[in-house]
Amino acid sequence: MDNYIEKVYEESLRRNPTQPEFQQAVREVLESVEPLLATRKDYRDAAILARIIEPERQIMFRVAWEDDNNQVRVNRGYRIQFNSTLGPYKGGLRFHKSVTLSVVKFLGFEQIFKNALTAQSIGGGKGGSDFDPHGKSDNEVMRFCQAFMTELSRHIGADIDVPAGDIGVGAREIGYMFGQYKRLSNRNEAGVLTGKGLNWGGSLARTEATGYGLVTFAQAMLEERGEDMEGAKVIVSGSGNVATYAIEKAQMLGAKPVSISDSSGAVYDPDGIDVELLKQVKQVERGRVSDYAQRRPNAQFLAGERVWGIAGDIALPCATQNEMEEADVVTLANNGVKLIAEGANMPLTPQAIEAAQASHILYAPGKASNAGGVATSALEMQQNAGLTQWPFVKVENRLDKIMLDIHRECLETAHEFGRPGDYLVGANIAGFRRVADAMLDQGII
């Protein structure tokens, strides 16, 4: 990095000394946009870098609730309203024991540029709590969500900040939070949350959107090489919505996904993942991937292991941040993988990204390849504003167009700055430039 960018990064380190995930995300973007900054003195004069890495608002709060044994529990809640230049803050809520201020800030920072790439007029934000819904009863989850929303409701609104789901937050949690928001505000403000139930303001295809969009993006990458997904063996991590619907979409295109995982371990299913069984185990029974393996005759459960040792053609990390390390990429390359597209947020470590780019492997960053979820959330907001619900095919067609537009913009931007085929540089510069230009238009605020 040049001296100017390095100074901005060092100041960020000084202000946020114990936030490694956030600093990792910041450094990746700053390194990528260096070619752009070399041509834009106006960005430097307006301190765009320093302003864009500092959240507009950081909210932390106590969440006190009672479990089924009448014991009072205390968790910490967060909402980072990072950048509203392009529209209301937009980003999910994550409920998981790993949630910290650093994790929420990295997610919110990534969300700025991801949302910008969708061209949907939404700003970047993120939130969540160190509450873990796994193993909790429905009533415990409800009481926590109501306590969480009691504080969060002060800071959100359809034209202010529109949260959605993320890890640990699905339709159940969104429903409980929406009910509490409605009770507190005395308004049926459908656009305040996305990921809602289909019978009360949700959008068709929203559940599938991130996984479907990921595979659409990967297919477009392959087509640039004159290839496609037909017959490809796909290695997928995770077993939530992103992984499930990435598997489903890949199968529609003729590929054969053979793996899933969760915190307990990995499953290799040489016959191909049975999507309906996976949905039953994870979405209905809220079980573990080991339960899936027990019901499949040839599936192997690999306790405590990850999926990256399995041979294949395409890798789709769909679990969580920093789940793929440099050694994993080396293994994947040696096993014949030709493409890695991120379904999770920042699932590759910096060293893993370098290893992928130094090899024959095509690499797509999550802010481009997994943007389908937030893009469809914005489409849900449009439907709410128009008091309507679009057919599945209309939403899916809009999603496909958005993902293909992002793919094209990444390639065109990378070529413009002398890095043809570099999706990381293309995504970061394209998203950053769209936000930075709007910040210039709106003045020093």
Assigned token pair, 61: 């709060």
For residues 431 and 116, the answer to whether their CB atoms sit within 8 Å is yes
Catalytic one among 126, 196, 338, 367? 126
Element (H, E) at 443: none
Please provide the distance, in angstroms rounded to a whole number, between the alpha carbons at the two ends of the chain: 26
Element (H, E) at 130: none
**Is 394 a residue of the active site?**
no
For residues 49 and 43, the answer to whether their CB atoms sit within 8 Å is yes
Angstrom distance (rounded) from CA 107 to CA 101: 10
Per-residue DSSP letter, 282: I
Max Cα–Cα distance, the chain, nearest Å: 64
User: Per residue in 175-212, is it b (16+ CB within 10 Å) or e — as a string?
Assistant: bbbbebbbeeeeeebbbbbbbbeeeebbbbbbbbbbbb
For residues 412 and 224, the answer to whether their CB atoms sit within 8 Å is no
3-state secondary structure 353-387: HHHHHHCCCEEECHHHHCCHHHHHHHHHHHHHHCC
Task: Give the list of residues 6+ apart from residue 15 with CB closer than 8 angstroms, or none.
Answer: 54
Angstrom distance (rounded) from CA 229 to CA 252: 9
For residues 179 and 209, the answer to whether their CB atoms sit within 8 Å is no
Q: Is 348 helix (H, G, I), strand (E, B) or coil?
A: strand
Query: Which one, of 344, 368, 345, 348, lies nearest residue 422 by Cα?
Result: 368
- Write the DSSP assignment of 156-225 as a string of letters: -BTTTEEEE-BTTB-HHHHHHHHHHHHHHHS---GGG-SS--GGGT--TTHHHHHHHHHHHHHHHHHHTT
Q: Which residues have a catalytic role annotated? A: 126
